[in-house]
Structure 1
């Protein structure tokens, strides 16, 4: 027979077991969170180290090509003087061929285009994301171009710079992922540019796509939609959420046409900033 205290002991044991399980679950959760944070910190550290390495490479690239171009410019006048007699005698074709041959042998045209126009960007965040993504395109040997033919010292304060960087990063990543689908890398192509006029800041990027599917912008930006296999498809959806925070000063257009995916971003100063300027 059970004693009168038996149910009480069973209840106490059950409650103690529940408390123990609750404490164990909390400790387990805290442990998982700690591990996730450590993993994220490690990943962030690796990304930071990679970006620092790319920025150092860019600095070395500038130093190296500045010296090369300075020496090339110094020698070019002597070369022209040496070819002047041939030119005066009417042998223009031979002169042009000699100049072209010498230029090709002295200047690595592909290397010079690697970070073309990045020196016109004077905002660290915008320069850093451009260098990082152009280096990736260059290293993976995808054909690409980048342009920034105006000096950019400031952008509208109406949008958080980190949101702009995030949008630029997402679109570059999408372009790189799509380029990887081409069996022949030479068939891929990515074109991007920064531009500024009347206080506005513009970013444009386009990339060739493997399948010229006729998709609406609503489908492209839908949460979970992706043309990539095993991909979450959250990039353009994230961009749409960012855009919703800046309805009065951010314009975004994108779509697919004639084998290209095109993305345009424009940031406009708000009325207060325009009045201050």
Structure 2
């Protein structure tokens, strides 16, 4: 906090009084005379230090309260911030998908320069979008770390190093190996950005729980039925049975033996 940083250094009342006492003792030792202004000097030094200490304590409390309020505000708005970043990610990838269609099979800057025209413009556009993509990713991880506990941050770092947090609803085993390598290294490329845009699976986790759910969904084994195709074991709902009233009317004709 600038106010506290700019506040001049000072002494506590005890330190200020001790300095006056030391000076008086040094004077007496060297001259044999006790300073006649000692009491006045000691009182002034103590009073001035007390004023300094009071303001220093107030500024310290102001800094503490400001940080606490900022952290509370950050925590309460973190979901909104992450949702905004997710929306920004969608905008980036929509633009990347359009540019990727123009790019066609071009995968290098040299090929784009050689092609020229719209292809070169698309490559330049993707280069700019790639920078925006990195910024969104870095910002989202910064927010997630800031609002998470130590154990959660440790798990998030491990997941991030393994490539999670980039896509959802897709099993990692189904992602091409070279794309997984980019996810793990975070050395993002235009080819990766175009693949991500076409996949439609990119997202920004809005919380630790959201990220954890995505990791679990990407790693859970597929369920197999040893006896054949997977069967629907949900309860069968039968239609309501219609009941007809019994015919209780007696035959008016006499009984004939």
The structure with higher relative contact order (CA 8 Å, sep 6+) is: 2
More helix by share: 2
User: Larger Cα Rg: Structure 1 or Structure 2?
Assistant: 2
Q: TM-score range by the shorter chain?
A: under 0.3
For normalisation by structure 1, the TM-score amounts to 0.25
